[in-house]
Structure 1
Amino acid sequence: MNIRYLIKNKVYLVLAVVFAVSCTKNFEEYNTHPYNPQDKNLTEAERLGTLIPTLISTMHFSQENRSQHTEQFVFGQYGGYFATTNNWNGTNFGTLNPALDWVEVPYKDVMAEFNSNYLKIKEVTNSTGYIYAWVNIIRVASMLRMLDTYGPIPYSKIGESNNDQVPFDSVEDVYKKMFSELDESLAVLNRFILGSTNYKNNPMAMYDGVYQGDFAKWVKFANSLKMRMAMRLSNVDATFASAKFLEAHQAGPIIANTDNAFIPTQDNPYLKASVEWGDLAISASLSSYMNGYADPRSSKYMTAISGGSYRGVRMGIQSINKTTFSNANSYSKPAFTKATPLLIFNASEVAFLRAEAALKGWLTGGDAVAKTYYEQGVTLSMSANNVTVGSYLTSTAVPAQYTSPNLSRSNISVPNRITVSWSDFSTSVNTKLEKIITQKWLANYPYGSESWADIRRTGFPQIYPALDNLSSSSFIGSINNSYGRMVRRLTYPQSLYRTNNDLVTSAISLLGGDDAGSTDLWWAKKN
């Protein structure tokens, strides 16, 4: 059972809610229906409230099919966490030749459904009030993933037309628009919190599977999101990026694990895909790093194989044998239970963002401050996973060599054998950056969309390229299958060409390259 089903039905079991259109206070005084109202008694606003869990779900899909097509096939593999073990008639994201219709799925599942529901809420709230501000934070978090996946998307003009002909915005313009929307939402939510004597007890709590209506935590989430976005732009607009980063840094992001953002689930989709379907395994990259580092989180992330060790699967094996590579005695699977929640933001990532900012000189204190935040990020992640850090922070061990018992040509080692200890190779700024991003990657498991973005922006961590590069025969175009490159974006859905050909052509001009998997997004281009 997923969160949307639970919350949709919960509306019939609690006091009814009133969907405020512009007020940011006095919600305690709103009238309510009696217990157990019938559908005919529910207001339009109450029905719209059930749309919010669907919006929240797009930040990390819990529904098994959407998770598989988006979180697992794309983000999980290109972010270095997972490898798929099903052949699917020879078309795979892992071998860089995905099926034509698969490339469309993330776009359709987010853009169409999210914006349809978002526009209903926007209309009811008249684009004002704390609920609209909250929903806009969710919108930015969800649309950011699509922007970073495809490039230019329809954004600023959504809802201004009654047909499908909505213009695309450039990646740069959408980022700037998103920052503006987050700032506006933060101002509204902060006023709402200050103007209420009991802001947590608000009528939206029942629809909020992340923070249960605690908008002070959503403020921290929004500030953290600003920091994530600002760092994304650090190579292309450092002045603007540093200013937005410092705003959020000073305003107060997520700094404690108690404020981490998760989407609850009662049927974890990674567990389902790996154990019930046999379609998913841990990546060889992840097992190499964690084995080499003797990482205390290993048992929390991966199931052990025979003998008690851990082994992933190399991404991109042509004609992979599902029976062989889904064997739990030989290859590790995600160590999730049915109730394991889905990560969307944690305090550890904020610490690593601050470490990188110090490394760039955005924060005062230089190397000493970068080291402090780096080690704080590691410690927070260990604590969040209920393990002790031990001597991990002083370790000079390197990622282990990967060896497969079934396919020797997939054996490989990480070329730059990065260590954990901050003091090791302390003279190299680039090495320090790699340490930060590598540990951030480990802490953000399994949130692959952010890790894929970091790989494209920095080249780190060094995840193993696809074993078999079949992109030359794929519609996404030939891919440079090397460390730090690989797939740079997904191509636009063919359905867009059929319905919006002129607009897609315009979007490609904004992209600055071909509609191909090898074209860099604006922020991924190095100075």
Structure 2
Amino acid sequence: MKKVLILVAAILIASCTDNLEGLNKNIKDPASVPGESLFSGAQKALVDQVVDLNVNNNNTKLWAQYLQETTYTDESNYDQVTRTIPQNHWDALYKDVLKDLDEAKKVISETTYTTDELNALKPNKLAVIEILNVYTYALLVETFGNVPYTEALDIENLTPKYDDGLTIYKDLISRLTTAMNALDTNLGSFSEEGGKADNIYRGDVAMWKKFAASLKLRMGILLSDVDNAFAKSTVEDAVNSGVFTSNADNADFTYYSADPNTNPIHANLVLSGRHDFVAGKTIVDVMNNLNDPRIANYFEEIPGGGYLGGTIGSTASYKTYSHVDPVVEAATTPGVILDYAEVEFLLAEAAARSFNVGGTAKEHYDSAITASFQDWGLTTTDAVTYLATPSVDYATAITASTASTPWKEVIGTQKWIALFNRGLEAWTSIRLLDFPLMAVPTDAVSGFPNRYTYPIVEQTLNGSNYAAAASAIGSDTAEQKLFWDKN
């Protein structure tokens, strides 16, 4: 009888153990995540960070003086420290974008799909991932200067070294060229289920190839003042590879009507219920002086008519000044990371630098403005009328300019207007071309920010590599110009 009881007890213990182990299993979440889902998450995190207006994450729409804060003016006055903005930007790009792209690459590489047709898409998927890797690292270099690169993304290495910014940038261009050339336009990429994993081009490889060429053009132009010969060959190769040729090519990320998949600006300006921003005086004054009809698409009129922007760096009554247009803050407004108007302005810059890109600076400048008008819902006739304005007409404006390099003022000003709502790219263009001139904020804590300062946590946890990087770029200050910002 005793032996029977022991046997029963043993069975009960084994049974209880199995049941307890079962309770410890997470049956709601997947044991592994598909590479396509990781790619989708990284893509959204990237575009969210680029288009965001949240003062904790991205201050560049304020620094480009498209907008002005109403009550809390720290960020309009170039304060990067109070809200640790550099840290948030750094984390978003390294952790939420690059690390997920890296994992997506690993998972897709190791996955055997159910059909030969699906397996055939893997090389294109990996090339698209690489293109977004390049775009993201380029943003980091353009923002900070020297950054972790060759030792980045290794979770076992908590103190990665910082690599030289110019060396990184040239390597990125090489990687971009390889990825672009690897794309097979006869096949799809993230094309399953209508391309739902790719919220920019729905898996269309031909479009990704154009995007890669256009990104290469942008990156080549950025090096024009630091290595003109390299920039020239890069730009000309990009153009020969086939850059954007219409607004249909724009890299527009699709947002949806329901939170959390709305455009972040909708969350910032509508869902928050807050009234933190009005139009900035700098852009409103320029557009008013030019009688630029796009202003009605950018902003709302004030009571009584007309457009008025808040003084940069000062508090601004929400009721007194113009607000962003409802279309700009709509939930489903696409998130733009590269567009045709920008490409045409880049080609205008290239032509002005005597690069062989086909067409004159004026021709590309006119095409850029026309593309911007059309993208904002205006007509070609509207653009023609605007281009005939003496202060806009390329030849007349060049003659009237008192700048040491007149084309930089003329192209730079119109490019900045067209880049409205694209703070990061506008900030980069201002730094490269030095136009238009930004107003000095009322209570500025620094000169115009030429870079984000390094995250404070890097000083604490990666001190020696941080110190070496700060010394290598000159200083860890907002005013420190980066390697590509020579003039």
In the alignment, does 2:193 pair up with 1:221?
no
Match of 1:18? Answer: none
In the alignment, does 2:166 pair up with 1:167?
no
Separation of aligned partners in 2, 1:283 and 1:310: 10
Separation of aligned partners in 1, 2:202 and 2:146: 33
1:379 corresponds to which of 354, 362, 370: 370
Match of 2:80? Answer: 98
Instruction: Give the TM-score normalised by structure 2.
Output: 0.83
Structure 1 residues 506 and 334, CA, compared in 2 at 3 Å: closer, same or farther?
A: farther
1:438 corresponds to which of 407, 413, 417: 413
Structure 1 residues 441 and 65, CA, compared in 2 at 3 Å: closer, same or farther?
A: closer
Q: Deviations over 1:200-247 (max 9, x none)?
A: 845782211111111111111111111111111111100001100001
Structure 1 residues 497 and 360, CA, compared in 2 at 3 Å: closer, same or farther?
A: same
Could you tell me how far 1:151 is from its partner in structure 2? 1.4
Match of 1:423? Answer: 395
8 Å contact 1:59–1:142 — kept in the other structure?
yes
In the alignment, does 2:281 pair up with 1:306?
no
Match of 2:64? Answer: 79
In the alignment, does 2:486 pair up with 1:514?
no
Could you tell me how far 1:75 is from its partner in structure 2? 1.2
- Alpha-carbon RMSD across the aligned residues, in angstroms, is 2.6
Structure 1 residues 181 and 253, CA, compared in 2 at 3 Å: closer, same or farther?
A: same
Match of 1:488? Answer: 450
Match of 1:26? Answer: none
Match of 2:7? Answer: none
Match of 2:459? Answer: 497
Could you tell me how far 1:119 is from its partner in structure 2? 2.4
Larger radius of gyration: 2
Separation of aligned partners in 2, 1:491 and 1:63: 18
Could you tell me how far 1:340 is from its partner in structure 2? 1.2
Separation of aligned partners in 1, 2:45 and 2:436: 26
In the alignment, does 2:275 pair up with 1:259?
no
Corresponding letter in the other structure for 2:199: G
8 Å contact 1:270–1:334 — kept in the other structure?
no
Q: Which runs of 5+ in 2 are unaligned?
A: 1-26, 111-121
Structure 1 residues 161 and 306, CA, compared in 2 at 3 Å: closer, same or farther?
A: closer
Corresponding letter in the other structure for 1:341: P
Separation of aligned partners in 1, 2:278 and 2:215: 29
Separation of aligned partners in 2, 1:252 and 1:93: 39
8 Å contact 1:94–1:466 — kept in the other structure?
yes
8 Å contact 1:68–1:269 — kept in the other structure?
no
Within 5 A, what are the aligned runs for 1:320-331? 320=315, 325-327=317-319, 329-331=320-322
Q: Secondary structure at the match of 1:273?
A: helix
Separation of aligned partners in 2, 1:305 and 1:129: 53
Match of 1:281? Answer: 278
Q: Stretches of 4+ moved more than 6 A in 1?
A: 39-43, 62-66
Within 5 A, what are the aligned runs for 1:363-378? 363=356, 369-378=360-369
Separation of aligned partners in 1, 2:29 and 2:313: 54
Corresponding letter in the other structure for 1:490: Y
8 Å contact 1:80–1:452 — kept in the other structure?
no
Could you tell me how far 1:392 is from its partner in structure 2? 0.2
In the alignment, does 2:98 pair up with 1:118?
no
In the alignment, does 2:221 pair up with 1:236?
no
Separation of aligned partners in 2, 1:464 and 1:117: 39
Match of 1:132? Answer: 126
Separation of aligned partners in 1, 2:460 and 2:452: 18
Q: Deviations over 1:258-280 (max 9, x none)?
A: 11111222333334434531112
Instruction: Give the TM-score normalised by structure 1.
Output: 0.77
Separation of aligned partners in 2, 1:301 and 1:47: 39
Separation of aligned partners in 1, 2:166 and 2:50: 31
Corresponding letter in the other structure for 2:229: T
8 Å contact 2:46–2:93 — kept in the other structure?
no
Separation of aligned partners in 2, 1:121 and 1:250: 31
Aligned length: 435
Separation of aligned partners in 1, 2:76 and 2:29: 50
Q: Secondary structure at the match of 2:211?
A: helix
Match of 1:296? Answer: 293
Separation of aligned partners in 1, 2:479 and 2:197: 40
Match of 1:109? Answer: 92
Within 5 A, what are the aligned runs for 1:316-465? 316-317=313-314, 320=315, 325-327=317-319, 329-335=320-326, 336=328, 337-363=330-356, 369-388=360-379, 389-396=383-390, 419-427=391-399, 430-465=405-440
Corresponding letter in the other structure for 2:477: A
Separation of aligned partners in 2, 1:454 and 1:65: 18
Q: Secondary structure at the match of 1:344?
A: strand
8 Å contact 2:247–2:340 — kept in the other structure?
yes
8 Å contact 2:190–2:198 — kept in the other structure?
no
Corresponding letter in the other structure for 2:286: Y
8 Å contact 2:275–2:318 — kept in the other structure?
yes
Separation of aligned partners in 1, 2:332 and 2:353: 39
Match of 1:35? Answer: none
Corresponding letter in the other structure for 2:278: A
Corresponding letter in the other structure for 1:444: L
Separation of aligned partners in 2, 1:188 and 1:42: 32
Could you tell me how far 1:455 is from its partner in structure 2? 1.2
Corresponding letter in the other structure for 2:166: E
Structure 1 residues 64 and 86, CA, compared in 2 at 3 Å: closer, same or farther?
A: farther
Separation of aligned partners in 1, 2:470 and 2:435: 27
8 Å contact 2:412–2:434 — kept in the other structure?
no
Q: Which runs of 5+ in 1 are unaligned?
A: 1-38, 397-418, 472-478, 481-485
Structure 1 residues 232 and 58, CA, compared in 2 at 3 Å: closer, same or farther?
A: farther
Structure 1 residues 199 and 77, CA, compared in 2 at 3 Å: closer, same or farther?
A: closer
Match of 2:40? Answer: 53
8 Å contact 2:42–2:100 — kept in the other structure?
yes
Could you tell me how far 1:453 is from its partner in structure 2? 0.9
Corresponding letter in the other structure for 2:77: T
